[in-house]
Every structure is written in C-alpha cells, then in structure tokens.
Amino acid sequence: MNDILRVVHELGGGLFGFVWPGVWTVVKIAILLGIVMFCVTYLTLAERKIIGWMQIRMGPNRVGPLGLLQPLADAVKLFFKETLIPSKSEKLVFILAPALTFIPALLGWAVIPFSPELVLADINVGVLYVLAISSMGAYGILMSGWASNARYSFLGSVRSASQMISYEVSMGFTIIPVVMLAGSLNLKEIVLSQTDLWNVVPLFPMFFIYFISVVAETNRAPFDLPEAESELVSGFNTEYSAMTFGMFFMGEYANMILVSTMGSILFLGGWLPPLPFLSFIPGIFWLALKTGFLLFVFLWIRATFPRYRYDQLMRLGWKVFLPFSLLWIFLTGAALHLLGKA
C-alpha cells in the first residue's frame, strides 16, 4: 500500500509539479465522495429490500440480478424527469435549497477517520465541525418550504427545522461525556481513547439517546413528521421534482450514513476490532461493519414503530433526553474525578 502511494506521489509530482498536493487532495476528495455516493445509492436499495423482508415481501427484484441495478434505474429516472418550478415560488431560493441540504451531508465526511492513517482532514475540533456542519442542513429544508410558497411545504419545513434544532441540542449533550472521557475533540483521539474499553459500555444510556436523537435529527421514521404523508402530502419536498427532489433524498441518506459512522466512532470504537487478536483484519472493515449495523437498526426501527405525535416528539427531546443527558454529564465528571483521571 505504502509503495503504491509512493509511486503515485512520484508520478504525480513529475506530472503536475508544485500543484501536485492540490491535485492529490482533489483526487482524495473525489474517491471519498464516490464511495459515499455509492453507499447512498445502495442504502436506498437495502432499505427497500430489508423492509420488504420484514414485511414478508420480496422487495425490488426486476432490474438486474436480485434487483441489484434498481438504484441505477432510479437515478436515471430522476435525472431525466422534468424539473418543475412552481410559478409563485421564489426561484433562486427554491433552487438553492436542495443543494444546501445535500452539500452539508457531504461536507461532514471530511473529518471522519476511517483508520489511523485514512482521514482527509485531521483537525483538532472534529466533533464540533461535524455538529456545526449538521446544523447547516436545516437551512435547506427551511428555505425549501418557504420558497415553495405552499402550505404543506411550509408546515413540513417549520416542523423539520424545529425538530432538528431540538434534537441537535440533546445530541450535542450526549457527545460531551465522550469528549470528557477522551479529553479531546479530535475524532482520531476519541477512537484511540477507546482502545481498552468502548465508550458504549460506560456510556450506554448516552449511546441510546444519541441514536434516538440522530434518528429524529435526520427526519427518519418514527420521527418523520416533516414529511408525514398522511397529513402533509410529502412535507417540505412536496413541490420538488426530478433532481431537485433527488438532492433532498440523497442528502437524507448521506446524513444517515454520516451519523451512523459518527455513532460508531464516538461509542463503538471506530476502526478498533472488538477483540485485540482480530486486529489483522483492516480497521476500515470494522468501521464499515459497525456503521452497517447502525444503519440496519435505522431501517429496523422504520419497519417496526408507528409515527410519533408532534407534541410527544418535543416532550421527549426537551423534557426527557435533555435533563437526563445533563445529569449524565455531571455523573461522568464526578466519576472521572473520583477515579483520579481528571
């Protein structure tokens, strides 16, 4: 691996000269985004297949062997549909909104460490960066509802934005004990601090709350009130079609994968193997396995639970999760002090 990298660097340095570091960064970004987009397309298929099996159906099985080419067919369909823009809408904001939802979902990947060496930007405030970027996602949704100039869209987007703000708070508070244990905001150091014991063991309630909060923050069932089809048609994306809709769609799935990866890194030991003697298997495999498990739970929840009522959702976030995670921060601090670690 290192030999290949050296050869690539020598070749690139010869070809591009002093701009090579820039070109190399672009190449790395392109590879990362390619993998993320591949996972997004196949997550949509996995969702339909898994929920199908849970409901004793086949799921998509017409396009390609076992329906494996279905995401391709969906993509082609979305690309070639006509983009409709309502005549009374705010054109510029209407078109910007899907991009503003989609881009933050991809930006977050910049700081994710896939293994000790494999990280695009190893910055000191990785956790804060991901939180900050994910808080930007709400703008696209709020803008889309307002720009559509339609009641269902607007109600959906207002619901979504207030839901995202509320659950971001409880999500942020569940991450604080993790940061306290690691003593760093750097994602790599957070993983390395779990070498002896994964955070999920001492912080199990926080992991639980984190997972429920991210389900709510990504607007997934049973908290998918922003697009509750029984009351709001399709919520904030009612007026969107073709690729403008596609960007909301892909943004949601990219966000799901991102928060699942974050969950694996913060609580399940990231690239670390469950037992030390298993370390001959590459770390990225373990991270993928853990992320895949969390994504499966996402789909499992969707197939199992009925949708929450809006007041229940707000009550859960503000009156249950928030006080409990505040208490847990205090307990973590006390425990660290008593154990003499801080």
Partner 1 sequence: MMASVASLVQSFAFYLFAGMAVLGAVLVVAARNPVHSVLSLVLTFFSTAGLFVLLGAEFMAAVLVMVYMGAVAMLFLFVVMLLDVDFDTLRQGAADHLPMGLAVGFAILVELVVIMAGIHPGEGAAHAAAVPVSNTMAIGKVLYTQYLYPFEAASLILLVAMIGAIGLTQRVRRDIRRQKVCEQIARRRDEAVELKEVAPGQGA
Rounded distance, CA 220 to CA 222, Å?
A: 6
Instruction: Pick between residue 44 and residue 162 the one whose CB is nearest to partner 1.
Output: 162
Distances (CA, A) of 160 to 52, 165, 270: 27, 9, 30
| Binders of partner 1 in range 292-311 (CB under 8 A) | 311
Q: What is the DSSP letter of 223?
A: S
Q: How far is the CB of 128 from partner 1 (least distance, A)?
A: 4
Residues 6+ apart with CB under 8 A from 184: 124, 190, 193
Rule CB under 8 A: say whether 138 interacts with partner 1: yes
From the list 41-49, 136-144, 238-246, 264-272, the region that binds partner 1 by CB under 8 A is: 136-144
In the list 94, 109, 114, 146, the residue contacting partner 1 (rule: CB under 8 A) is 146
Q: How far is the CB of 320 from partner 1 (least distance, A)?
A: 11
Question: Tokens 């099985």 belong to which residue?
Answer: 61
List the one residue out of 28, 103, 46 whose CA is nearest residue 255. Answer: 103
Length of the chain measured in residues: 342
Rounded distance, CA 334 to CA 154, Å?
A: 45
Rounded distance, CA 157 to CA 145, Å?
A: 5
From the list 41-49, 80-88, 160-168, 321-329, the region that binds partner 1 by CB under 8 A is: 160-168
| Binders of partner 1 in range 15-34 (CB under 8 A) | 18-19, 21-22
Q: How far is the CB of 267 from partner 1 (least distance, A)?
A: 21
Q: How many chain residues bind partner 1 (CB under 8 A)? A: 31
Binding residues vs partner 1 (CB under 8 A): 18-19, 21-22, 90, 93, 123-125, 128-129, 131-133, 135-136, 138-139, 142-143, 146, 154, 158, 161-162, 165, 168, 185, 311-312, 315
